[in-house]
């Protein structure tokens, strides 16, 4: 049991590292290879969906098609793919393109604040003291990252701030929409359908055929990292972590993405960050710790 707990913890941490690699390699493609997010997003979504679909088709086709037997659930799966998976993935990589992987990753972790507000509205209650503290830290963190403490200037582009906040909302919907489906059906099967439908719709939304694509071994390798490591491997690691140590702890350890994305972005890609950025990042990291601990306490 102890060994499984340790392995689950490691898998949670590795999940965050894999997610961070996806964002940093995407930033690398955008900055050095001229790849545009409008081309990258649908390719990543669709290819990941096809791989997951084929994996389930050949390993457990009954679980894959189980959701199609219930019309209401299948429609919910399609909506989850479009307004959950596609919205989250597209806004995240648009945020990376407009700012950098570290900043986009930090801003996406404002999602627990959206979830907290949703829970409070659903239960018709006011946020408690720790939740109010998390709101203060979240607002303060975004303020420092976006202005560096000067209310008269923006240290991040308006597009970067917009897509970063949109990404946090996308992460919220991507968490919320498939929640009941994941309890009823195979989570990997739901993810396969979500990525597939999300990728198909993204093709029509972003029209990748309008953007140039020059493929070489470096571009191909970076794309494979974002798909195989940043999507499929990360998700499988996360599912194992949830299974062994529970969703709250798995979510907490996977927030290693915040740290690893920032370190990789600065050390590898030379993204300039000031001390005030790190203060803002730390404040948002504390939001994750507070709300994750609150969630864990409320379920024990």
Size (the chain), residues: 300
How far apart are the C-alpha atoms of 188 and 95, rounded to whole Å?
Answer: 26
- Check residue 151 and give its pLDDT: 67
Structural domain total, the chain:
1
Find out whether 51 and 223 touch, Cβ atoms under 8 Å.
no
Report pTM: 0.88
- Residue 95: both structure tokens together: 């945020």
Can you give the three-state secondary structure of 163-181, one letter per residue?
HHHHHHHHHHHHHHCCHHH
Find out whether 99 and 30 touch, Cβ atoms under 8 Å.
no
Burial 268-295 (b: 16+ CB within 10 A, else e): ebebebeeebeebbbbbbebbebbbebb
Q: Identify the domain containing residue 83 by its residue range.
A: 2-298
How far apart are the C-alpha atoms of 102 and 17, rounded to whole Å?
Answer: 12
- Per-residue pLDDT tens digits of the chain, which is 300 residues long: 577 788 888 898 898 899 999 999 999 999 999 999 999 999 999 999 999 999 999 999 999 999 999 999 999 999 999 999 999 999 999 999 999 888 898 888 888 888 888 888 888 888 888 888 888 888 888 888 888 777 666 678 889 999 999 999 998 998 889 888 988 998 889 999 999 999 999 999 999 999 988 889 999 999 999 999 988 888 888 878 877 887 667 777 788 888 888 888 888 888 887 888 888 888 888 887 777 766 655 544
- Check residue 164 and give its pLDDT: 92
Find out whether 223 and 28 touch, Cβ atoms under 8 Å.
no
Closest-CA residue to 115 (of 37, 171, 191, 182): 171
How far apart are the C-alpha atoms of 291 and 280, rounded to whole Å?
Answer: 17
């Amino acid at each position: 049991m102890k060994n499984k707990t340790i392995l689950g913890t490691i898998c949670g941490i590795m999940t965050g590292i894999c997610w961070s690699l996806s964002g940093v390699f995407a930033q690398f493609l955008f900055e050095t290879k001229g790849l545009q997010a409008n081309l990258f997003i649908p390719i990543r979504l669709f290819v990941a969906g096809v791989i997951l679909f084929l994996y389930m088709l050949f390993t457990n086709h009954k679980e894959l098609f189980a959701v199609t037997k219930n019309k209401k659930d299948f429609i919910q799966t399609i909506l989850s793919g479009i307004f959950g998976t596609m919205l989250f993935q597209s806004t995240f990589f648009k945020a990376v393109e407009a700012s950098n992987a570290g900043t986009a990753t930090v801003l996406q972790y404002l999602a627990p604040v959206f979830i907290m507000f949703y829970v409070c509205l659903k239960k018709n209650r006011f946020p408690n003291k720790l939740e109010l503290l998390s709101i203060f830290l979240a607002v303060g963190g975004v303020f420092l990252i976006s202005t560096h403490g000067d209310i008269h200037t923006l240290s991040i582009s308006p597009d970067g701030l917009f897509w970063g906040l949109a990404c946090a909302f996308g992460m919220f919907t991507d968490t919320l929409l498939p929640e009941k489906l994941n309890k009823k059906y195979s989570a990997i099967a739901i993810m396969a359908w979500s990525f597939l439908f999300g990728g198909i719709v993204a093709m029509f939304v972003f029209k990748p055929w309008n953007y140039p694509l020059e493929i070489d071994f470096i571009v191909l390798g970076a794309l494979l990292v974002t798909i195989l490591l940043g999507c499929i491997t990360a998700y499988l690691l996360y599912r194992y972590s949830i299974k062994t140590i529970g969703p709250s702890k798995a979510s907490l350890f996977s927030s290693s993405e915040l740290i690893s994305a920032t370190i990789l972005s600065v050390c590898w890609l030379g993204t300039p960050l000031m001390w005030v950025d790190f203060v803002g990042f730390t404040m948002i990291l504390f939001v994750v710790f507070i709300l994750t601990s609150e969630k864990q306490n409320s379920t024990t």
